[in-house]
């Protein structure tokens, strides 16, 4: 069975590096890319994470955020793999942060998979 995995860049967040390195690199600013992954095989179209829904909300409530027009989920899917949201069979959310599940509502035909609360 063959599977194809395509990375889809969904923008970038600008954060203080210490938020990632536990109190090291305080004051150092870094850009963190936001990724989604399109997986196709065995007759299935699977999307891992759906990216940021509202850039303005992120900038007002979390951090600086840059999303080019081709990095919005609909455009990234179309450009990257030729899919529309209704083509996706399964959405896997790695976790439920705003930058990983923000566009879930666009995938009305998909089954959703997320970690069960322990």
pLDDT at res. 117 = 79
- pLDDT single digits (tens) 23-42: 899 999 999 999 999 999 99
Average pLDDT (42-60) is 97
Give start and end residues of each alpha helix (H) in 1-118.
18-21, 55-61, 73-81, 98-101
pLDDT at 30: 96
- The Cα 69–Cα 63 span in angstroms is 19
80 CB-side CA count, 13 A = 25
Identify the residue with better confidence: 49 or 115: 49
Q: How confident is the model at residue 1 (pLDDT cuts 50, 70, 90)?
A: confident
d(CA 100, CA 53): 9
């Amino acid at each position: 069975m063959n599977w194809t995995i395509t990375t889809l860049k969904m923008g970038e967040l600008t954060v203080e590096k210490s938020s990632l390195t536990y109190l090291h690199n305080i004051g150092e600013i870094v850009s963190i890319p936001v990724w989604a992954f399109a997986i196709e095989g065995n007759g299935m179209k699977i999307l891992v994470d759906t990216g940021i829904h509202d850039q303005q909300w992120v900038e007002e409530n979390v951090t600086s955020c840059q999303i080019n027009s081709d990095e919005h989920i609909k455009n990234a899917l179309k450009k990257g793999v030729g899919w529309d949201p209704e083509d996706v069979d399964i959405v896997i959310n790695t976790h439920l942060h705003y930058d990983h599940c923000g566009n879930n509502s666009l995938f009305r035909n998909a089954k959703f998979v997320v970690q069960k609360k322990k």
